Amino acid sequence: MDWIKEIVAETGLADTHEHLVEESRRTNESSGWLFPCDDWALLFREYIQDDLHCAGMSTVDEQRFYDPGTPSIDKFRLVHPFWERIKHTGYAQAFTHTLRNLYGIDSFSLRRIEELASRYCELKKPGYYEHVLKNVSRLTECHVNSLERIFMESEQPMLLRQDISILELSRCSAADIVKVEGETGLHIRSFEGWLAAIDHYFERYGKQAVAVKYQGAYSRRLNFEHVSERSAAEFFKSHHAERPFIGPHGEKVLQDYLFHYCVKKAGEYGLPVKLHTGYFATRDSMPLARVKNNAADLCSLLQDYPGVRFILMHIGYPYQDEIIALCKQYSNAYVDLCWAWIVNPVACVRFLTEFLVAVPSNKVLTFGGDYIMVENVVGHSVIARKGISETLSSLFLKNWVGRSEVPELAARLMNGNARDVFSRVANSEP
């Protein structure tokens, strides 16, 4: 449906989840723990490399591929046999769209590889984040969950709206305490001191933040129980004793209390809570049984905090039907299609189509690139627009949506819902 494609192409798209580093990091640094090299191979670092590994690329070849000393042509020859195996996956197709829409290169081929190497370097200069996000991807806003700080005081706060990460605040490991002390200048010697540190982050950044983000589902179930402050304090004391050992039960008690504490603080500041659900960005390791429990585990949390908006990220893939059920049942449950478009584009179209005939249309956010490298946002946004177009076309052709309703629905899905969900609303505690 060309007319629907045109509407979607012309409509601004809200980006509600990225891990972008600051622009100055990309323009001034050539290496670091996030950047093994500084050339076009870096664009494979996120997600595509996992498909390459799954397709058989060895660790040795991968290390050579990211080695700054490996010539560009040799990098292409290393990756090309595996590229042929993965080029139809969502991860790879996003890269192909980035080549075309950002660099003006029609294919990933040996004849164009030196041109890609040159254009990669030419693009990286002050101001290119705004060019990539606003001019090329046509984003209305961009949310960032920093992987480096609990809250990143961005050099471009109007362009890169930041989340408060509550993973470290609710996990409370020895490394987390060191990180918090380094960021805040506080000296934490007690459980009360740790709670004061959490208060500090919300007092300092709560009015700047767009949301809070928790990705703890990578390491535990989302079955947060209510426990007493006294119990949590005892386990904190044991956890950080000279010879710490509290066991899995003690860790859960401590984390459960601190997670609830952070959610209550989010409610006080009117901040939505973003939760990782579903698929893992890992290799050869994913506890699928625990992933399957995500939706069921969240029921209690949604009931406990009716005034807090919970954003269920990544559609819970591959258990997306349960996420539809949650969003239909709970008024404070929203779904975010971030990352899902490239994990499985066809499943994501199916999800959005079924979602819109089951759940109020204000309950879905339709894009988040989930990238560290800003360049990759371009290709992912192209796939998202394609998927949204396919969804709306299907609903129109099957008479679920009228022609006159399409423009308004497209605007709501692509940017209106994000504007409404992340508007500041002071919520009462449960």
Closest CA to 17 of 385, 283, 314, 271: 314
pLDDT at 108 (0 to 100): 97
User: H-helix or E-strand containing 311?
Assistant: strand 310-313
The answer as to whether 396 is a domain residue is yes
pLDDT per position as a tens digit, 27-84: 987 666 788 999 999 999 999 999 999 999 999 999 999 999 999 999 999 999 999 9
Q: Residue 71, preceding bond cis, omega within 30 degrees?
A: no
The answer as to whether 208 is a domain residue is yes
The answer as to whether 278 is a domain residue is yes
> What does the pLDDT average to over 379-402?
98
Whether residue 158 is found in the same domain as residue 211: yes
Domain of residue 406 covers 128-225+259-421
pLDDT at 159 (0 to 100): 98
Whether residue 378 is found in the same domain as residue 287: yes
Q: What confidence category does residue 426 fall into, taking pLDDT thresholds of 50, 70 and 90?
A: very low
- Of 93, 123, 153, the residue at which a domain comes to its end is 123
Whether residue 167 is found in the same domain as residue 119: no
- Of 86, 103, 123, the residue at which a domain comes to its end is 123
User: What single string gives the DSSP state of each residue in 61-116?
Assistant: HHHHHH-TTS-HHHHHHHHHHHHHHHTTSHHHHHHHHHHHHHS------GGGHHHH
Whether residue 67 is found in the same domain as residue 143: no
Contact 13, 366 (CB under 8 A): yes
pLDDT at 424 (0 to 100): 66
The answer as to whether 35 is a domain residue is yes
Amino acid 381 reads S
Whether residue 88 is found in the same domain as residue 190: no
| Helices and strands, number each (H, E), in the chain | 21, 8
pTM of the full predicted structure?
0.95
Whether residue 97 is found in the same domain as residue 138: no
DSSP3 helix / strand / coil % (the chain, rounded to 5): 55, 10, 35
Cα distance between residue 355 and residue 358, in whole Å: 5
Contact 8, 385 (CB under 8 A): yes
> What does the pLDDT average to over 8-25?
97
Whether residue 315 is found in the same domain as residue 287: yes
pLDDT per position as a tens digit, 232-277: 999 998 878 766 678 899 999 999 999 999 999 999 999 999 999 9
Whether residue 102 is found in the same domain as residue 172: no
- Of 123, 146, 165, the residue at which a domain comes to its end is 123
The answer as to whether 294 is a domain residue is yes
Rg (CA), the chain: 22
Cα distance between residue 196 and residue 335, in whole Å: 32
Tell whether the model's pLDDT for residue 132 goes beyond 60.
yes
Whether residue 386 is found in the same domain as residue 314: yes
The answer as to whether 242 is a domain residue is no
Whether residue 144 is found in the same domain as residue 275: yes
